[in-house]
Amino acid sequence: MHGYILINKEKDMTSRDVINIASKVFKTKKVGHTGTLDPLATGVLVICVGQATKLVEVVTSNSKEYIATICLGLDTDTLDITGKVLNEENCTLSKDDIVKVLNSFKKTYNQEVPAYSAVKVKGKKCYEYARAGIEVELPKKEVTIYNIDLIDEPTYKDNKTYFKIKTKVSKGTYIRSLIRDIALELNTVGTMVDLVRTKQGKFLLENCDTLEDLKNGKVKLRPMIDLVDDIEIKSIDDNVKKDILNGKLLENKNNCEEIAFVDKNSNLISIYKKYEKNNKFIKPWKTFVY
């Protein structure tokens, strides 16, 4: 079995929990997701099965869209509402103040990862240090906030300001860190109350299957070719297929950067990329054996 599924991840479960369920349903250990969602978060989780796991990094690189609920005036160790409260302060900010700062975040910048994250420092995950009470210098990663907008009017409760944002971000962006950084620009602290991933690349929340349907065997694998249909796709005969499976360089007739080859049965056979040593040729990057 080879292909992918789209699941609307539920709250209070890890992305790994969904992988384990898919592994049992499809009876294979070759299962992987294309971007972790925190237990608090819900929404689009793209899961690759079988040979499609070779395309995980392709899908992971896609941009993502989220709707996040933010509380200003509250700080926790995990940067979300599930964590231990570190600081509280009165904070009632106007819509104009919030919008001005949000607009300033449509940029590329170096974002510090959360202490509670799976990013590794000296071979250990950051959350392992955090749980042990050990302070480490947290890595920073370059991220891009393509768009960020306030949706709905801010609300106020217990001297805190609550509002929702919709944002499109690059690979590797932590929304919890983004919220922390927005709060700092507003001269306060902030934490994430809720998060929904509404889109990853071209995959939309409304096209996702439910976890219940997955458990009940009602979810069918979608074709692998969908994962690469944004690049040129070319059909090949059996002779060329044999050359490809043997890893042969091919002539780069159309001067393409990358190209996907499918056989007469529309099975994805390989993805080739431009050969850096000689641009007249393309070389295999991902090859799929069924």
Q: Which residues contact 216 (CB under 8 A, 6 or more apart)?
A: none
106: its two tokens? 């449509």
192's enclosing H/E stretch is strand 190-200
| 3-class SS of residue 84 | coil
CA pair distance 259, 232, nearest whole angstrom? 5
Residues involved in catalysis? 38
Q: What are the distances in angstroms from CA 185 to CA 102, 159, 179, 180, 237?
A: 9, 19, 10, 9, 58
What angle is formed at CA 176 by the lines to CA 192 and CA 143, rounded to 5 degrees?
150
Cβ(234)–Cβ(225) under 8 Å?
no
Taking each helix axis from N to C terminus, what angle separates 175-185 and 95-104, rounded to the nearest 10 degrees? 120
CA pair distance 167, 150, nearest whole angstrom? 9
CA pair distance 27, 224, nearest whole angstrom? 18
